[in-house]
A and B are shown apart, each in its own frame.
Chain A
Amino acid sequence: QKEVEQDPGPLSVPEGAIVSLNCTYSNSAFQYFMWYRQYSRKGPELLMYTYSSGNKEDGRFTAQVDKSSKYISLFIRDSQPSDSATYLCAMLNTGTASKLTFGTGTRLQVTL
């Protein structure tokens, strides 16, 4: 079993929809939880990160962490065609020389 599980999609939604992207994990030592966005044929770029449990909001994006359930989510409000990309969750146990563990990514397509 992988340490981090993520549904690969693809997920197709109409413009303006609320998108929910999720990851589950098995390692209770993870402390930082991140979301990276990767456009086609580009490198991943950090969207946002949270430390431990709770919510964090940045514009149309909200990240949630539920450590008791080992479940993290990224919500995108008022989705736009420019949000079409692959979204990778990543997690960090600070005791592992700062090595991130990535999910496989969910491909999102926002249609007009």
Chain B
Amino acid sequence: NAGVTQTPKFRVLKTGQSMTLLCAQDMNHEYMYWYRQDPGMGLRLIHYSVGEGTTAKGEVPDGYNVSRLKKQNFLLGLESAAPSQTSVYFCASSQGGSGANVLTFGAGSRLTVL
């Protein structure tokens, strides 16, 4: 019963490098989300998906791309990392639809861009 698993947990990049964060959920949830969390800014939505093969922009999508080729996986890509992308990234999933839309979060991925 893993819930939401994020890999890697930590990563250090140099400016201009690329990388992909992987999120996997085993709850058969329809919706998946990528957030970033910065001091004083709270959780900000980067991109989200309401089903396999769909993606949509959130509040702060610039500099990131996502893909949802399989229902259980949601990938977040940084094509050319910048120091402003230093943050803690959280993936979340939910059943979606009507109602409270309770999110289950992963443990986070800490990214530092030098």
Which chain A residues lie closer than 8 Å to B45 at the CB level? Answer: 99-100
Least CB separation from B6: chain A residue: A43
Instruction: Establish whether residues B102 and A46, one from each chain, have CB atoms under 8 Å apart when the complex forms.
Output: yes
Known: A88-B42, A102-B42. A43 touches B90 (CB 8 A): yes
User: Could you tell me the distance between the alpha carbons of A6 and B41 in the complex, rounded to whole angstroms?
Assistant: 11
Pick the residue among B42, B56, B106, B108 that contacts A104 (CB under 8 A).
Answer: B42
Instruction: Establish whether residues B103 and A46, one from each chain, have CB atoms under 8 Å apart when the complex forms.
Output: yes
Which chain B residues lie closer than 8 Å to A42 at the CB level? Answer: 107-108
Known: A42-B108, A98-B94. A92 touches B40 (CB 8 A): no
- Which residues 44-67 of B have a CB within 8 angstroms of A? 45, 48, 50, 56, 58
Residue B100 at the chain A interface, CB threshold 8 Å: yes
User: Could you tell me the distance between the alpha carbons of A68 and B108 in the complex, rounded to whole angstroms?
Assistant: 36
Indicate with 1 or 0, residue by residue over B52-84, a CB within 8 angstroms of chain A CB atoms: 000010100000000000000000000000000
Instruction: Establish whether residues A97 and B43, one from each chain, have CB atoms under 8 Å apart when the complex forms.
Output: no
Which chain B residues lie closer than 8 Å to A43 at the CB level? Answer: 4, 90, 92, 105-108
Residue B34 at the chain A interface, CB threshold 8 Å: no
* B residues whose Cβ falls under 8 Å from a Cβ of A: 4, 31, 40-43, 45, 48, 50, 56, 58, 90, 92, 94, 96-108
Lowest 9 A-B CB distances belong to which pairs? A43-B105, A104-B42, A98-B101, A102-B43, A32-B100, A102-B42, A49-B100, A44-B105, A43-B107
* A residues whose Cβ falls under 8 Å from a Cβ of B: 6, 8, 32, 34, 41-46, 49, 51, 88, 92, 94, 97-100, 102-105
